[in-house]
Amino acid sequence: MSVNELAARSYTHQSSVSVVVSRLAEAKLVKRIRSTTDSRRLELSVTPAGRRLLKADFVTPQERLLGSLGRLTPERLAQFRSLVAEVVSRSGMDSETPPMFFEPAASQPSVQKK
């Protein structure tokens, strides 16, 4: 598995996963191996020490969050979706193409400070 694949599976940004993978490699819990099919790609594999830790049934925060959403009633889940949609809309992030930081301020929503 590559860093990008791990990022996708863990619902985490690639750069964050890369930092964590570096720490895991330093702790000898994972190792990075150059791909035999693409020399630019590094494959990750879990070391025996890493496997021992995995057997401890660690659950990521993302898995806990997704699991809690799965335990909501259909009515509460609908309320949650509606609230998230409202927050996204009010933040101006509901367009198909999010604005870039260098675009004119007029195209971005104003942020109220307290």
| pLDDT tens digits, 71-112 | 999 999 999 999 999 998 888 777 766 666 676 655 445 555
Query: CA torsion, points 45, 48, 51, 55, in degrees to nearest 10?
Result: 170
pLDDT tens per residue, range 3-49: 889 889 888 898 999 999 999 999 999 999 998 888 888 899 999 99
Cβ-based neighbour number of residue 40 at 10 Å? 6
State residue 51 phi and psi, 5-degree precision: -65, -40
The verdict on pTM exceeding 0.85 is: no
